[in-house]
């Protein structure tokens, strides 16, 4: 076996997860699929370079027959027929997993990706919690003695696990001296330990697939699923996958992605925040017409975002797949009733719009929003579990519609630049401390929103953007000064000096490099990952 473990410290329960048999399974996955994954990552770089040169992307010509022919995805299992409200959150720590399982949502998106900082403890703890969720035995007692257990008075949500994207490494496990592929580690460990249990229950194994950029990447996942099913004696097609359309190129490959996964496909999700990040990244140096307004002004009602979501609904229902809405960033604050009232109204508007557009369900990030989201979809669904019958034949979306960033209303402001720097540093610090999702000023921030923040600043510098509120050009010198200001602001807000020194100072260094370096770094989490234990 070519896999070796590089554990920086002991984590309780590691021996339950990293068994010899599980590691052998991971070794086989890497032997068969890691090489193709590496080739596909090279293809990504070439595609992005071409888009940067041409300033455009289009639907792939070589797959026109797929788009024009008549086919549907496989029939859906009962456990996924009703997805009107899905709660998202990290699979570690255990108390957050239990809160999600007790929330009353139809589905729990158990995140091993953008909402989980992949330090060694979280990698192992998340797998233990997912095993506990599958067996119904998950429980936790805090240091203060508070007990967390699964409720028996509500139906537990169907668990859909989100492994890390193809681009990410797992440095704690190495294959022939090279960091393992994080996607294969996350999927492989969960599948190996839980597939038979979940299959017997008729509740999985189900997955959300993140950061895909091409239909060939979906094909690779389909091959992984088929191999894993055969290896463990699970019937072909038991695995079901919902793909997040959260990169710009994936928006042009929606039908092809479903086609490649058709025996295993469940649906597509409008991963709005990563989608904005990807759009900025793809056209970061392609001119002022691709410079977005301040992040706070880029709502789902902007024309290019409407085109993206309406195309997603039409595509999914045409192919018999579920269309899942995205995450509203606003979250309630139980200590601030006025803030909560405003958040609830914004989330209600968001979910009402999605239900009216034909989505089959949507995401929330907080248990207090589950009932609200369910109510908005129930008002449209009536006695139906989903809207698969609504075809949206009224929708026509062109490549130009998806790329019409110039039509977006709003401005770039110095206040917006400051907020981007503040959020990027704050989130990166919390990520380094081991938490992958955090509420900042009553908005739920994860890696995707931090990526938008730092990418907007880089793009504004390289396009000489002029701020609408102060009339100054965004330059390296200006951003450096503003970043110093925001770091000092954070220093005044963080009461724990040790935490500031340990996490916020290195986070500020990472963000400074990301926004000021001439070379754009594709993912914030790659340099930050080097500092995770």
Would you name the residues annotated as active-site residues? 162, 446
Give how far Cα 208 sits from Cα of 86, 118, 269, 312, Å.
12, 17, 9, 16
Going by their DSSP bridges, the two strands 178-181 and 240-244 should be labelled as unpaired
Residue 266 burial (CB count, 10 A): 26
| 8 A C-beta contact, residue 436 and residue 493 | no
Give how far Cα 181 sits from Cα of 26, 35, 210, 224, Å.
10, 10, 14, 13
Torsion (CA) 58, 59, 61, 66 in degrees, nearest 10:
180
Q: Which of 473, 478, 480 is nearest to 508 (CA)?
A: 480
Number of H helices, E strands in the chain: 20, 15
Give how far Cα 241 sits from Cα of 209, 265, 342, Å.
7, 5, 34
* Burial degree of 221 (CB within 10 A; 0-12, 13-18, 19+): buried
| 8 A C-beta contact, residue 266 and residue 76 | yes
The owner of tokens 């009107």 is 84
């Amino acid at each position: 076996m070519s896999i070796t473990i590089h554990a920086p410290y002991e984590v309780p329960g590691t021996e339950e997860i990293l068994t010899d048999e599980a590691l052998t399974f991971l070794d086989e996955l890497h032997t068969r699929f890691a090489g193709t994954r590496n080739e596909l990552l090279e293809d990504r770089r070439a595609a992005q370079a071409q888009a940067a040169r041409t300033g455009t992307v289009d639907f792939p010509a070589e797959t026109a027959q797929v788009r024009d022919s008549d086919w549907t995805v496989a029939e859906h299992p009962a456990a996924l027929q009703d997805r009107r409200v899905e709660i998202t959150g990290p699979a570690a720590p255990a108390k957050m997993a239990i809160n999600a399982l007790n929330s009353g949502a139809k589905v729990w998106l158990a995140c091993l990706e953008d909402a989980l900082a992949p330090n060694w403890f979280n990698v192992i703890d998340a797998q233990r919690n997912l095993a506990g969720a599958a067996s119904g035995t998950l429980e936790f007692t805090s240091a203060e003695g508070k007990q967390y257990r699964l409720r028996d008075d509500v139906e537990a949500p169907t668990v859909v696990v989100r492994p890390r994207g193809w681009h990410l490494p797992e440095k704690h496990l190495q294959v022939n001296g090279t960091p393992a592929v994080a996607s294969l580690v996350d999927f492989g460990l969960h599948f190996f330990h839980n597939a038979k249990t979940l299959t017997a229950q008729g509740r999985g194994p189900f997955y959300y697939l993140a950061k895909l950029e091409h239909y060939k990447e979906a094909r690779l996942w389909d091959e992984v699923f088929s191999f894993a099913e055969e290896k463990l004696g699970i019937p072909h097609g038991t695995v079901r996958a919902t793909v997040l359309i959260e990169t710009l190129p994936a928006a042009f490959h929606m039908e092809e992605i479903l086609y490649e996964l058709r025996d295993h496909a469940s649906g597509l999700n409008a991963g709005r925040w990563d989608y904005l990040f990807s759009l900025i990244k793809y056209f970061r140096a392609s001119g002022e017409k691709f410079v977005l307004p301040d992040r706070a002004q880029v709502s789902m009602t902007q024309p290019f975002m409407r085109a993206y979501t309406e195309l997603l609904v039409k595509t999914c229902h045409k192919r018999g797949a579920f269309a899942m809405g995205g995450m509203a960033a606003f979250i309630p604050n139980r200590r601030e009733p006025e803030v909560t009232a405003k958040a609830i109204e914004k989330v209600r508007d968001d979910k009402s719009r999605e239900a009216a557009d034909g989505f089959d369900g949507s995401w929330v990030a907080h248990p207090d929003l589950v009932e609200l989201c369910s109510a908005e979809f129930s008002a449209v669904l009536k006695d139906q579990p989903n809207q698969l019958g609504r075809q949206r034949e009224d929708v026509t979306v062109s490549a130009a519609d998806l790329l019409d960033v110039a039509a977006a209303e709003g401005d770039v402001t110095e206040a917006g630049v400051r907020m981007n720097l503040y959020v990027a540093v704050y989130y990166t610090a919390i990520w380094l401390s081991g938490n992958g999702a955090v509420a900042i000023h009553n908005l739920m921030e994860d890696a995707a929103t931090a990526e938008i923040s730092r990418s907007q600043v880089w793009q504004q510098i390289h396009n000489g953007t002029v701020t609408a509120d102060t009339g100054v050009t965004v330059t390296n010198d200006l951003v450096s000064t503003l970043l110093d200001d925001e770091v000092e602001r954070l220093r005044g807000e963080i009461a724990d000096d040790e935490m500031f020194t340990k996490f916020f100072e290195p986070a500020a260094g990472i963000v400074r490099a990301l926004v000021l370096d001439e070379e754009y770094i594709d993912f914030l989490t790659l340099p930050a990952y080097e500092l995770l234990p």
